């Protein structure tokens, strides 16, 4: 099960961490979109998670391992038993996942994000806004949508981009990939895993990604943001959160349609699945985004939600709040 060229580094990791040459049991884990070799192993009657980077990925994992260790030390990531930047291998506690009720997630996840965002600053990495915009521009250049629809979406996307602030105080240590499989609920607390995408970023991005699943109405949003900020959110906070959600709708629309276009014909007609229902099914593990047809559906879900949101009073009000704040009024 372990590739021949990885057996030496696995033996070294086991000797260093546990003083043994081999595991008692091993099971490969294939759930999720990570390209790493991932295994559940048993050593001395306890289970651990072992991840080995393939030779074609994670060529410089120092930051990834550093942040995983920082999360472990802060009690928001599984305990780290072994890390090797040179060999690109890690061994951590294995967390047995339990069903994560949304009501608990609304309480637990924002507090977990608060602890994450208070970690010592990660490296700056890529400019996420610019990277996002590059993918959006690439998507529209592919001409998947009608001219009228493209114009409507792009016009409002630009309206947000022109006024959305990039304040240094809102650049914090972010995970940046908080889909449900990247946090594990053990029945009492949640743990963050898969730190490959972590870098310094806008706090509202992590908040908005988790909010896709935990926030379905105004009451949810108020509770969620209050659990993060420790007080009732003001108009500015709610406007930032809402506009970041809209930027993510456009980003996810673009990236998932682009990915799916490699194997699936792009057709935006058909069943109109609601944003809430689709995310509920993702949360419960019923939808696998490794499937290109599901990627396309997910892109369409985000596009339709954006089109609905830009017609609301809240969209115009959020733009006004942020624009006024950026002028210092």
Judged against a pLDDT cut of 70, whether residue 122 lies above it is answered with yes
Judged against a pLDDT cut of 70, whether residue 148 lies above it is answered with yes
Q: What CATH superfamily classification does 4-93 receive?
A: Phosphorylase Kinase; domain 1 (3.30.200.20)
Cα(262)–Cα(264) distance, rounded to whole angstroms?
A: 6
Judged against a pLDDT cut of 80, whether residue 118 lies above it is answered with yes
Count Cα neighbours of 25 within 13 Å in the Cβ-side half-sphere.
8
Tell me which of 71 and 268 has the higher pLDDT.
71
As a whole-number percent, the residues of the chain with pLDDT over 90 amount to 78
Judged against a pLDDT cut of 50, whether residue 226 lies above it is answered with yes
Mean pLDDT calculated for residue range 122-131: 85
Under CATH, what is the fold of the domain 102-326? Aminoglycoside 3'-phosphotransferase; Chain: A, domain 2 (3.90.1200)
Judged against a pLDDT cut of 60, whether residue 303 lies above it is answered with yes
Mean pLDDT calculated for residue range 91-97: 96
Q: Is the dihedral of CA 99, 105, 109, 111 positive or negative?
A: negative
For residue 281, the SS3 value is: helix
Closest CA to 12 of 52, 59, 62, 40: 52
Per-residue pLDDT tens digits for 53-71:
876 554 446 788 999 999 9
Q: Nearest 5°: phi and psi at 323?
A: -60, -45
Judged against a pLDDT cut of 70, whether residue 34 lies above it is answered with no
Q: Which two tokens stand for residue 262?
A: 């490699």
pTM for the full model? 0.91
- pLDDT, the chain, mean: 92
Cα(319)–Cα(298) distance, rounded to whole angstroms?
A: 26
Mean pLDDT calculated for residue range 146-150: 95
Mean pLDDT calculated for residue range 272-277: 88
pLDDT band for 133, please (50, 70, 90 cuts). Answer: very high
Q: Is residue 210 within 8 Å of residue 109, measured between CB atoms?
A: yes
Judged against a pLDDT cut of 60, whether residue 40 lies above it is answered with yes
Ranges of each domain in the chain: 4-93, 102-326
pLDDT band for 243, please (50, 70, 90 cuts). Answer: very high
């Amino acid at each position: 099960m372990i590739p021949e060229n990885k057996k030496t580094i696995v033996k070294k990791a086991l000797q260093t961490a546990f003083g043994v040459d081999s595991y008692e049991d091993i099971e490969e884990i294939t759930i999720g979109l990570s390209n790493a070799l991932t295994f559940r192993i048993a050593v001395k009657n306890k289970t651990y998670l072992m991840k080995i980077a393939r030779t074609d990925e994670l060529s410089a994992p120092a930051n990834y391992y550093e942040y995983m260790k920082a999360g472990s030390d802060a009690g928001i990531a599984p305990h780290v038993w072994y890390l090797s930047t040179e060999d690109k291998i890690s061994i951590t506690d294995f967390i047995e996942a339990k069903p994560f009720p949304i009501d608990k997630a609304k309480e637990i996840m924002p507090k977990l994000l608060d602890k994450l965002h208070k970690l010592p600053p990660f490296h700056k990495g890529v400019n996420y806004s610019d990277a996002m915009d590059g993918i959006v521009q690439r998507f529209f250049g592919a001409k998947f949508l009608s001219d009228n629809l493209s114009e409507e979406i792009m016009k409002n996307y630009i309206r947000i981009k022109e006024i959305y602030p990039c304040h240094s105080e809102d650049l914090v240590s972010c995970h940046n990939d908080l889909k449900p499989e990247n946090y594990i609920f053990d029945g009492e607390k949640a743990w963050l895993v898969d730190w490959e995408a972590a870098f310094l970023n806008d706090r509202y991005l992590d908040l908005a990604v988790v909010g896709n699943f935990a926030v379905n109405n105004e009451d949810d949003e108020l509770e969620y943001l209050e659990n993060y900020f420790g007080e009732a959110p003001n108009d500015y906070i709610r406007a930032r959160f809402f506009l970041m959600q809209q930027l993510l709708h456009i980003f996810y629309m673009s990236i998932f349609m682009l990915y799916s276009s490699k194997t699936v014909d792009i057709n935006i007609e058909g069943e109109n699945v609601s944003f809430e229902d689709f995310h509920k099914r993702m949360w419960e593990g019923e939808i696998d985004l490794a499937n290109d047809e599901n990627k396309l559906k997910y892109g369409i879900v985000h596009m339709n939600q954006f089109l609905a949101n830009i017609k609301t009073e809240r969209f115009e009000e959020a733009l006004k709040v942020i624009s006024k704040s950026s002028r210092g009024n």
